[in-house]
Amino acid sequence: MESLTSRMQAVQSPIIPVVGELIKNSPGTISLGQGVVSYSPPQSAIEFLAKFFAEPANNLYQAVEGIPPLLAALTAKLSAFNEIEINEENCIVVTAGSNMAFMNAILAITSPGDEIILNTPYYFNHEMAIAMAGCRAVLVETDENYQLRLEAIAQAITPKTRAIVTISPNNPTGVMYSEAALQQVNQICGVHRRCAEGTRGIYHISDEAYEYFTYNGVKHVSPGAFTGSSKYTISLYSLSKAYGFASWRIGYMVIPKHLLVAIKKVQDTILICPPVVSQYAALGALQAKDEYLQSHVGAIAQVRQIVLESLNRLQGLCTITPANGAFYFFLKVHTQMDALELVKRLIKEHKIAVIPGSTFGMDKGCYLRVAYGALQKETVKEGIDRLVKGLQIIVRS
């Protein structure tokens, strides 16, 4: 019991419930905290539920890796959008969200004491999963624009390194990595894969949960599409964001075929199979016309522009790094104040909630993640005005 307790003590507490409790205690607060969208799944997702209920056998356990019709639909999507072809070297596993896909990957490729390279600021659930698996997150700082530092990544590799993690479009910064940068990370992993014995090389784990949320003509790039990358690239995807599917818990992963047995062991133990009713809804969502995603991402792009124009009023008080993806801005606030203390004051005094950068591994300085995906054009101005005015008052006081 003591060893179990000490292991979990090393894992940070998830920040979203903490901020959620602060919001609950301050009625009227507008949240720019959790990374969700405001819109609902497409009607086709709801309509496909009838197909689930029409088949009594759907109440039984189904395949660990996902139902065949959904796997087929995902194969077509990956080919058309990501330029990833499913072949004899790779395969798809449907998961209960992409967080589970990441946990599956970590448990499948590591032994306790192994190392995973995270670029800071990192996604907090990634760091938490690594700690839970008894592994160590090796942190590599990004540059002043939150872009990858390839030489630093290469220098961080040790004999214990099992993976390099990239997130593009990025959570929490919203930045996107260039094709050249992602190609270099992939090549680093490929070189180590060829030098390693068996499956003990280095994998490139590419988290692409925000793949559809790109702006200003910037195109999403999937490392799994690079020539020859199938044997060492693990790609993670989610329906939570683009399809308004947060609570339905459906994600999926594209993995090297040689990892399938290990990942099925993990998934069968934790989940048995992804929720079949949600898989039918996901299959329906993938039937939605292109206009569904285009209209909703377009609306968020308009909200993004309003947010950016308002945040520009903070010049001198904050550094606002340009970001062409996801639905986040990551602010560096020019203050000595602790980030969590600043968040608490913003909620209590100005009824506006954001997430402290410390939960993303940014302990040197005061950083805030601003999420605008759940805002609408009608409400965005009020929320951002509260944030801007709150920061102006608190930081200048």
- Using 50, 70 and 90 to split pLDDT, how confident is the model at 10? confident
In 10 A of CB 97, how many CB atoms? Answer: 24
Query: What would the pLDDT profile of 144-160 be if each residue is shown by its tens digit?
Result: 999 999 999 999 999 99
Among 266, 285, 304, residue at a domain's last position: 285
Taking each helix axis from N to C end, the angle separating 124-132 and 98-109, rounded to the nearest 10 degrees, works out to 40
Last residue of a domain, one of 239, 259, 285: 285
Nearest to 321 by CA among 297, 347, 351, 357: 357
Same domain, 125 and 48: yes
Q: CB neighbours (10 Å) of residue 271?
A: 15
3-state secondary structure of 110: coil
Residue 84: which pLDDT band, with cuts at 50, 70 and 90?
Answer: very high
Rounded to an integer, the average pLDDT of 286-298 is 96
Residue 197 confidence (pLDDT) above 80: no
78 and 221 inside one domain: yes
Residue 197 and residue 324 share a domain: no
Q: How confident is the model at residue 174 (pLDDT cuts 50, 70, 90)?
A: very high
Whether the pLDDT of residue 263 is over 50: the answer is: yes
d(CA 226, CA 233): 9
Domain total of the chain: 2
CATH number for 222: 3.40.640.10
Q: Please report the pLDDT score of residue 3 as a whole number.
A: 54
Alpha carbons within 13 A on the beta-carbon side of 193:
20
Closest CA to 172 of 384, 374, 369: 369
Q: Are residues 278 and 358 in the same domain?
A: no
Are 162 and 112 contained in the same domain? yes
**Mean pLDDT, range 23-27, rounded to an integer:** 93
User: Which amino acid, residue 260?
Assistant: L
- For the segment 73-100, the average pLDDT, to the nearest whole number, is 97
Do 246 and 102 share a domain, yes or no? yes
Neighbours of 306 (CB within 10 A): 16
pLDDT of 4 reads 53
> What would the pLDDT profile of 296-306 be if each residue is shown by its tens digit?
999 999 999 99
Backbone angles phi, psi at 228, to 5 degrees: 80, 10
Buried b (16+ CB within 10 A) or exposed e, 27-54: eebbbbbbbbbebebbebbeebeeebee
- Which pair of tokens denotes residue 1? 């019991």
Residue carrying structure tokens 């197909």:
51
Q: Does the pLDDT at position 335 exceed 80?
A: yes
pLDDT of amino acid 278? 97
Q: How far apart are CA 202 and CA 389, in angstroms?
A: 46
Tell me which H or E stretch contains 20. helix 15-24
Res. 40 pLDDT band, cuts 50 70 90? very high
* Main-chain phi, psi angles of 345, to 5 degrees: -70, -40
Q: Are both 48 and 36 inside the same structural domain? A: no
Alpha carbons 250 and 332: distance in angstroms, whole number? 33
Give 199-237 pLDDT, tens digit per residue: 468 999 999 999 999 999 999 999 999 999 999 999 999
pLDDT score of 128: 95
Tell me the β-bridge partners of 137: 116
The CA–CA distances, whole Å, from 98 to 243, 246, 377 equal: 14, 11, 29
The domain of 328 spans 2-41+290-396
